[in-house]
Structure 1
Amino acid sequence: MLVSDLTLDDVETIAALHLAAFPHSALSTLGEEAVRRHYRWQFEGPHDLTALGAFSDDVLVGFLLGGVFRGSTSGFVKRERWFLVGQVLRHPHVLAQTSGRRVAPVATRLLLRRSSTAPEQPSRVPAGSLGVLVVAVDPDVHRLGVGTSLLRAAEASARRDGFERMHLTLHPGNVPALSFYTDQGWRRLGLPGDDEHQWLLGKELGAAIDPGAPGSAR
């Protein structure tokens, strides 16, 4: 398996994998074109993006998008407002698809507001931290180390870019994902804003280990 950078040219493949990995998410429910436009915004928006893909025999089997985001959701909604309104009208059941989360109410408010959409919450972003927006793995290769390889590559990239830590938000009811990140050394940060729908997790990166350094394991 090879982990390498992704570009805007990979959006079609990224969207297809998102639909396979998260078929019941609110974004997926809005249709394939909505998913494509969402990821296109992540590449084209005013973000400092880290986009990594895991490939097996030249086939994308997982991806990770991280970085410093400036409107990953609110900017997408602003740019695609009328397209999204049309998709919601075509798929009205998405508004009832809360699954214990606040996705639908938040999306509704963002869609119905004018240009003053609510921004992300920079006050919850730890200093010197790279955020992880999404990690997606092809369901056919779950538990084969794809997610772990993507996280390790992202951590190495973050260290090279001078970040001291990483963070992400996660629904605490997603027990498999919570266990996965905990096993990778992530911990709940316990910052204000956590609730029953989302926790902020983080990991201190520390210094990279040089396997050739004296006293290191070989």
Structure 2
Amino acid sequence: MTDETKKHGPDAAAEDLQAAEAAQPGDTVEAQAIPTEPDPLEVLRAENVDLRDKYLRLAAEMDNLRRRTERDVKDAKSYSVAGFARDMLAVSDNLRRALEAIPAEAREAGDAGFKALVEGVEMTERSMLAALERHGVRQLEPMGEKFDPNFHQAMFEVPNAEVPNNTVVQVVQAGFVIGERVLRPAMVGVARGGPKLSAVEAETPAQA
């Protein structure tokens, strides 16, 4: 057998195949690669983070809902009697007008029955105002305070140089608030011509 026959025999073919496989090791490894499964622990951790985020958002929404509900219930309790209270103020005004219509001389000269009647009307007025206050209706006391358009309604001006300008010097009709809202502004007369308020006094709201 010649050298040429030996070179192309079966052994040579096997050697050529081995050489070809050795020349492309990357292709062989890639063909044999097996996809890896996700780590169960990492999957659980991701799910835990997602559930925790959803729980925190839900808890925040529930807390906001609870606060809104409490505020709505409080407002409903505070302001549900506003219409009724406003009607009762008209009755209180009539009682006050009746008392102010009685001359001081008549009170002094009246007999025991007349004085008892006057005292009864006064007691009725006080009881009505006390009942309204128990339900959150409070009377304003603006006399001597700086005029505040949020709580007062100016009816006229009174020349008075002894008090600061825009000071309430007369109350024509009492004002009332219910909770933090004005039920009826106080009708007042304000001073004109007195010293001007300082910058600090002008910025300070009037006390109810």
**TM-score over 0.5 (shorter chain):** no
Q: Structure with the greater relative contact order (CA < 8 A, sep ≥ 6): 1 or 2?
A: 1
Structure with max Cα Rg:
2
Point out the structure with the larger helix share: 2
Larger relative strand fraction:
1
